[in-house]
Amino acid sequence: MATAGNQIKNAKLVLLGDAGTGKSSLVLRFVKGQFVEFQESTIGAAFFSKTLAVNDETVKFEIWDTAGQERYHSLAPMYYRGAAAAVIVYDITNSATFIRAKKWVQELQAQGNPSTIMALAGNKADLLESRQVSAEMAMNEEFVIGQANLLGSSQATTIACKS
């Protein structure tokens, strides 16, 4: 990855969303290539890091997996402050988490860094028979999220991406 004279760039990445949406599962899949079927709820936040080659640069992702329970919501700004990117996760089998995702986007737009890259991730796409949020609904123009990208993911892989 890094060669002599090649510096490692740090990039803070934060995952936001309601409890039970699968934020921790996404992080574990990305960082360790693992899926834990029964993941315990995150308390406060969990920290992970992963170093990757990105466009001829070496980037160390400093990843904050935030707790989704309402009682931890007031801590979120501490984690998304200074973030290069934020992934707002919702559960495609729970429409309430999708509605709440819009509030997360609005909060980031109002209080976060204007240059933060945002992505909206519809998680648990392997549970299609229980789906409450369609891909069309997620891409609907009424769900204005500015520069956010839409990602679809399951416990095993990322299955769709639309900019």
Nearest Cα neighbor of 119 from 10, 11, 13 is 13
**pLDDT at 162 (0 to 100):** 38
What is the CATH architecture assignment of 8-162? 3-Layer(aba) Sandwich (3.40)
**pLDDT at 36 (0 to 100):** 67
SS3 per-residue string spanning 110-141: HHCCCCCEEEEEEECCCCHHHCCCCHHHHHCC
**pLDDT at 158 (0 to 100):** 43
Going from the first residue of the chain to its last (163 residues), give the mean pLDDT of each consecutive group of 10, the final group possibly shorter.
Answer: 69 92 86 73 79 90 83 77 92 92 88 87 84 79 49 46 37
What are the structural domain ranges in the chain?
8-162
Please tell me the pTM assigned to this model.
0.78
- Tokens 């399951």 locate to 154
Let me know: does 28 contact 42? Beta carbons within 8 Å: no
DSSP structural state of residue 7:
P
**pLDDT at 12 (0 to 100):** 94
